[in-house]
Amino acid sequence: MLLLVAFAVMTAGCGELPSGNERSMAAAGGITQSSAPINEQDILTVRLQCTNECTRMGKPPFTEKRFESADEINVFVQVINHSPKIEGDMDYSTLFLMYLTFIDGTEKVFALNVSDLEGAVGLLVKIPGSSEGYAISEEFHRQLRTLIYHS
Residue-wise pLDDT for 68-93, tens only, equals 999 999 999 999 999 999 988 888 89
SS3 121: coil
DSSP state of 38: P
CATH number, domain with residue 143: 2.60.40
Residue 25 lies in a domain: no
Measured from the Cβ of residue 132, the count of other Cβ atoms closer than 10 Å reads: 15
Mean pLDDT of 20-29: 37
Mean pLDDT of 106-122: 96
Residue 24 lies in a domain: no
pLDDT at 132: 84
Cα–Cα distance, 43 to 48 (Å, whole number): 14
pLDDT at 88: 87
Mean pLDDT of 42-53: 97
Residue 22 lies in a domain: no
- Which residues span the domain enclosing 72? 2-16+30-149
Residue 54 lies in a domain: yes
The count of structural domains within the chain is 1
Mean pLDDT of 35-40: 82
Prior bond to 37 cis, omega within 30? no
